[in-house]
A = this chain, B = another copy of it.
């Protein structure tokens, strides 16, 4: 099995983005699955183009994207992406769409098709705060959450995709009042457990599938 894990580049004047930093800390193999890591730009459209190219090149079974949701205290696994760009701030190339669909011919939303509850449970069992989130917002994170599901539905059938939001790192919070944070090593460990849950789920599905013959 192959899993493509993407992380955003630094954004909004910050010199570092824990999203891509935590992805870099992942091992190259998790439970016999190959982990392919990709940095994507915090830009509407281009982020999806880069992921589309990576899917074409690597043919992964699962695409898992990682972004930061500063202010959330735990690792959150997103349930759904919605077909809208509604940006309160510009992206890294100055785009700031307002209430525009991501894909004009797409449905209003897609649920992700990775095992969100099992991923959360696996992290919590291992002492890492995690929960299901019902909104990825309406900025680039949702753009990628929805957009990759659109790609897997329309262009790459059979592939799975989903999105995980991570908290601020502690060093980002030394000058922010009352903002929760999580150690980068723990974030990376959490992502590893979440990916283990995806792999175990895929394996179970295949075994169950095989058993019906």
Contact = CB atoms under 8 A, between A and B. Distances in A.
B173 A73 contact: yes
Contact of A178 (B73, B109, B117): B73
A60 interface: no
Contacts of A156: none
Interface in A30-52: none
Copies held by the complex: 4
Given A134-B138, A170-B186, 17 more contacts: A73-B173, A73-B180, A79-B84, A79-B138, A80-B109, A83-B111, A84-B111, A108-B109, A108-B110, A124-B175, A125-B174, A128-B170, A129-B173, A131-B177, A180-B180, A182-B183, A183-B183
5 contacts: A73-B173, A79-B138, A82-B111, A99-B117, A129-B176
